[in-house]
Amino acid sequence: MGLAGVDNRDVKLIMVGGKGGVGKTTCASAVALKIAMEGRKVLIITSDPAPSLSDIFEKTIGDTETKIHDEYELYGLEVSSDIVLKRWKERFGPEIYEVVSSFARVDYDFVEYIGTAPGIEEEYMLNFIMELVEGGSYDIVVWDTAPAGHTLRLLKLPELFLSHLEAATKFYMNMYGYIEKVKDTVRLRESKKTLLQIIAGWEALSERIVEFIRDRTSVKYLIVTIPEALGVKMTRRVIRELEENSLAVENIVINNVVESADCDFHRLRKTMQEGYIDELIQAYRDKALTILYLAPHEIKGMERIAQAARLLFG
Ligand SMILES: Nc1ncnc2c1ncn2[C@@H]1O[C@H](COP(=O)(O)OP(=O)(O)OP(=O)(O)O)[C@@H](O)[C@H]1O
Ligand SMILES: [Mg+2]
């Protein structure tokens, strides 16, 4: 057993997901280090609100791309929601303002207001990641996502990406009763674009993101789980939802597995875990399942991350 396909040369993005606390950051770090050690330039990025990369790599990272290995081309980035929202506003603020202010009397503050709507940050995160990948500064990006609920929301959104803006615009325009007549001719105040061009731009971006995250050659999904009832249940749900959205999961890591038991406590745990491991094996015959044993220590610092990588890649 061992991770399959994630270190292929064609892979440009690896997304690591799973329930809270199951070892996502640990696995993402191990994968990133392994690939960097093969001589490629790697960026590991976390969108988790709790900046965990700095802890695991024992190095201050923060919201600028920071080199985290002396020898290899391994970089880290902890993106905060502030940064993501700032970029979102830069990208869409002017257009949104133009569109809305063409038929309603609003201040520019309106953009700030839309920026606080739930889901905006997750939506824009995909765009942010896509730009990083396509920017070509790195051979591969490893994305340590926030705990499952968040990730699911994010992955369900791509089809809807920006469509709420479009829908809102259409709604208002219809209300004003002239969209069909004027949308392709109304030239917006500040820009050379028409309303239709702006909306078409949003739609095109949305389609590009969906295409990007569904590309099975360049994007790999790795789900981390633990052999416990809740872990397995969440995993099944996450994988079902990803696959319903045409996103293929090829790798599952089963973490915190007790390797050998020499006392009743561990024997009981091991037996309990085996049932869930069997369930996962039965359910996911088509996927690569990799076991990561529970270590007697935390996984922190380059040496231990490298050790976890050796276990993951077999
Ligand atoms: N196989 C393992 N053996 C021992 N400790 C582990 C193992 N895997 C992870 N840990 C430890 O468990 C803790 C949680 O791991 P990690 O931070 O990777 O989880 P996470 O899924 O990223 O959590 P969160 O959802 O909070 O971001 C860390 O202290 C890590 O060192
Ligand atoms: Mg984490």
pLDDT tens readout for residues 280-296: 999 999 999 999 999 99
Cβ–Cβ < 8 Å for 23, 253: yes
Distance CA 21, CA 2 (A): 21
* Cα 144 to middle of ligand 2, angstroms: 7
255 within ligand 1 shell (Cβ under 6 A):
yes
pLDDT of residue 308: 97
Q: Which ligand is nearest to the CA of 20?
A: 1
For residue 189, the model assigns a pLDDT of: 57
pLDDT at residue 151, rounded to an integer: 56
Topology classification of domain 13-313 = Rossmann fold (3.40.50)
**C-beta 311 within 6 A of ligand 1:** no
pTM of the model: 0.88
The reply to whether ligand 1 has any atom less than 6 angstroms from the CB of 22 is: yes
The reply to whether ligand 1 has any atom less than 6 angstroms from the CB of 25 is yes
Q: Could you say which residues of the chain have pLDDT below 50?
A: 158
* Catalytic residue flag (residue 63): no
Ligand nearest to the CA of 150: 1
What's the confidence (pLDDT) of residue 82? Answer: 82
Ligand 1 atom, smallest distance to 28 CA: 18
**Owner of token pair 């076991």:** 291
The single-letter code of the amino acid at 176 is: Y
Q: Is 204 exposed, middle or buried (0-12, 13-18, 19+ CB in 10 A)?
A: exposed
